[in-house]
Structure 1
Amino acid sequence: MSTLPSAQTLAPAASSTRGQLNGILFVALFAAAVMRIASVPAISGLGISPLIVGIVAGAIYGNALRHGMPESWAAGVNFSARKLLRIAVAFFGLRVSLQEIAQVGVPGFTVSVLVVVSTLVIGTWAGMKLMKLDRDTALLTAAGSAICGAAAVLAFESTLQSKPHKSAMAVGSVVLFGTLSMFLYPLMLNAGWLHLDTLGAGLFFGGTIHEVAQVVGAASNVSPEATHIATIVKMTRVMLLVPVLLVIGFWINRSRNASAESAAQGKGKIAVPWFALGFLALVVVNSLHVLPDAATSTINTLDTFALTMAMTALGMETRIAQIRQAGPRALATGAILYAWLVGGGLAITIGVERFFG
């Protein structure tokens, strides 16, 4: 005969749930303040997104003031940094459409694929072999440079289930070198160091700059046409997040299975990141124009807020002492990748434009 749970049993559970909700609310309020800060012209004018501001502000709080936060709120912070970010990454798909990708055609898609694949391979190799970084830190740094900056770092962090400080190091690389691109790229083009036409400039900017906002900021100094092409090429790189995550998930699973086999634990199932499939599904929804434009715009605004919450929570869980251990090596890996994006990315752009021209 079953018995009903006692009041003493229910009380801790109710307290835990209340603590988690308080933690989520705290992160939401913190993220709202972050978005206000990010909207300040001095910051937004540099192409620095709320996601970047969020992880920096969260890290400052987490290392200087977190001792004042009730311990019961930690579950809410962890929820925001893990489960909420998966949902937010999936809804990022509403920013991409198949029609936009078709506008830049085969050249734009080719540049995106070559840049993403080569940057991931070079970044992982350089990080692990040259800089002696662990696999997760090398992959996160490579993903941030190869695909879509902080959003890619978040997606990979979720798939790899890595520590927050590793994501913080990767985001630091995105901030530094992505911001540098905003000033360096237009300068090189206007000074005549880059012999690129409007299409070439759009392909190069969109194919090699880290964040979407940074692409727009840099290309807007060239022309509206170059900005349009660069933005579409950049969103094509974002689209590649799905197949890359599936391949990485399969690779990570094989590694885990190999370890399990050596310990006589047998094989597991292939880990498919569901949020990547959700991302792809919402790209299709956006391409079919099922939702009104106003609804899509509202969802994208809410999604930016959710991503900012996730980034802020990751910052709160980051410890500076952990970053110091690999900080210079992670930054050096980012510098190697940046040199490749500028030199190798330019070579890829010129080669593709000539081949299809």
Structure 2
Amino acid sequence: MPTYATHPRASVCYGMLMLASISLLCLLFNQQVPAISPLMLAMLVGLVLGHSRFAAGLVHVDASLQWAKGPLLRIAIGLYGFRIGFEQIQQVGMQGVLMAVLVIFSVISCALWLGKKLGLDRHTSLLVGAGSAICGAAAVLASQSVLKASEEKVSVAIATVVLFGTLSMLLYPLGYSLLALPAQQYGVLIGATVHEVAQVAAASAAVSEQVQQAAIIEKMLRVMLLAPFLVWLGWQQSNTPGRSEKSLHLPWFALGFLCCSGIRTLDWLPISGLHMLQVLDDLMLTMAMLALGLNTRAAQVVRAGRRPLLLAAALFLLLLIGGYLLSQLLALLSA
């Protein structure tokens, strides 16, 4: 009897089932250890499996891997908008909005400038910058869908999110007593400067419930700004020197993100429906990350060298020091 590998449809179904099963395990692990993002865990599992005997069979499910990294990922980024409604902006006030906008603008600008000084290509600089400035691995994946960057560049950018996001998660709880900031202000600082949503939740929860609430809302503001960032990125791509096509490229999944956020704001869906959509979105994003890990080879990442790490380290310091100074300045202006 022929195996699944001889039937294209059966091969795709088998591949998607494999990705979904492993991704579910990553999500279940995240429920037990919330500080570890399922996206990061899926990437790590994919890298390990991709360098094991398991890798020999990946050729039979390549169509599934490509679909998970492409259309499935774009749908998941669009559905990400269901996580935040526009009304949440009021809960952190104008100070929180300005903090989020200025952090993203300064980090992306610094990433492009310093990346050029370090001799990095534009794609790597933007991917590392997006991961640091907006929402970690999800921002890297979303940016990759616009830039069409190579998988090794995406893997390098995500590795920097894991490293420096984890450092932030450990440092911020220690800094609360040293900096002596009000709980609301410290929560906004954490939400505006820590890489991943899971890392923000873990770092702020280690301080207090009030800090955690402000931190998560501020982080969701940064997530909301992913959509306009992607639109800007599409515009930048359409104006890249050497491109014959100069029409504006608007990523449909960025517009989908805003539409989903609008639906969330209008309360058109019940809480149970929103929860189901968010769980589905988590699964789809995790599957995309797993597929990326399975297709990435360690040698490709190693070849990137230390320059992306230096860029990420500089952005990490900018977030720590610049974020603190910016929060102080905004607090003085709003007083």
For Structure 1 versus Structure 2, the TM-score category normalised by the shorter chain is: over 0.9
* Residues 1:30 and 2:22 aligned together: yes
Q: Is the 8 A contact 1:112 1:233 kept in 2?
A: yes
Whole-angstrom CA distance in 1 between matches of 2:31 and 2:271: 23
Deviation at 1:222, TM superposition (A): 2.1
Which deviates further from its counterpart, 286-295 or 174-183? 174-183
Whole-angstrom CA distance in 1 between matches of 2:126 and 2:31: 30
Whole-angstrom CA distance in 2 between matches of 1:111 and 1:123: 18
Equivalent in 9, 12, 16 of residue 8 of structure 2: 16
Q: Percent identity?
A: 38
SS of the residue 2:216 aligns to: helix
Deviation at 1:195, TM superposition (A): 3.4
Amino acid in the other structure paired with 1:32: L
Equivalent in 200, 203, 210 of residue 225 of structure 1: 210
* Residues 1:168 and 2:155 aligned together: yes
Q: Residue 93 of structure 2 corresponds to which residue in structure 1?
A: 105
* Residues 1:328 and 2:306 aligned together: yes
Deviation at 1:66, TM superposition (A): 4.4
Equivalent in 158, 169, 176 of residue 182 of structure 1: 169
* Residues 1:344 and 2:290 aligned together: no
Deviation at 1:104, TM superposition (A): 0.9
Equivalence map 1:1-357=2 (5 Å): 15-41=7-33, 44=34, 47-130=35-118, 132-190=119-177, 192=178, 194-255=179-240, 258-260=241-243, 266-357=244-335
Q: Is the 8 A contact 1:24 1:79 kept in 2?
A: no
Using a 3 Å threshold, how does the CA distance of structure 1 residues 268 and 172 change in structure 2: closer, same or farther? same
Deviation at 1:138, TM superposition (A): 1.1
Amino acid in the other structure paired with 1:317: N
Deviation at 1:114, TM superposition (A): 0.3
Whole-angstrom CA distance in 2 between matches of 1:103 and 1:150: 26
Q: Residue 3 of structure 1 corresponds to which residue in structure 2?
A: none
Using a 3 Å threshold, how does the CA distance of structure 1 residues 329 and 198 change in structure 2: closer, same or farther? same
Q: Residue 10 of structure 1 corresponds to which residue in structure 2?
A: none
Deviation at 1:20, TM superposition (A): 2.3
SS of the residue 2:123 aligns to: helix
Which deviates further from its counterpart, 136-145 or 181-190? 181-190
Encode CA deviations 1:302-338: one digit per residue, 9 max, x unaligned: 1101110000001111111110111422111110000
Q: Is the 8 A contact 1:133 1:326 kept in 2?
A: no
Q: TM-score, normalised by structure 1?
A: 0.89
SS of the residue 1:259 aligns to: coil
Whole-angstrom CA distance in 1 between matches of 2:40 and 2:234: 25
Deviation at 1:349, TM superposition (A): 0.7
Q: Is the 8 A contact 1:165 1:317 kept in 2?
A: no
**Greater Rg, structure 1 or structure 2?**
1
Q: TM-score, normalised by structure 2?
A: 0.95
Deviation at 1:246, TM superposition (A): 0.6
Amino acid in the other structure paired with 2:261: V
Using a 3 Å threshold, how does the CA distance of structure 1 residues 89 and 134 change in structure 2: closer, same or farther? same
Whole-angstrom CA distance in 2 between matches of 1:15 and 1:126: 49
Using a 3 Å threshold, how does the CA distance of structure 1 residues 286 and 253 change in structure 2: closer, same or farther? same
SS of the residue 2:82 aligns to: helix
Using a 3 Å threshold, how does the CA distance of structure 1 residues 221 and 36 change in structure 2: closer, same or farther? closer
Deviation at 1:149, TM superposition (A): 0.6
Amino acid in the other structure paired with 2:72: L
Whole-angstrom CA distance in 2 between matches of 1:40 and 1:224: 19
Deviation at 1:65, TM superposition (A): 3.1
Whole-angstrom CA distance in 1 between matches of 2:266 and 2:50: 42
SS of the residue 2:242 aligns to: helix
Amino acid in the other structure paired with 1:83: P
Count of aligned pairs: 330
Encode CA deviations 1:62-116: one digit per residue, 9 max, x unaligned: 1223442152310111101111110011101000111111211110000000000
Structure 2: 5+ residue stretches without partners: 1-5
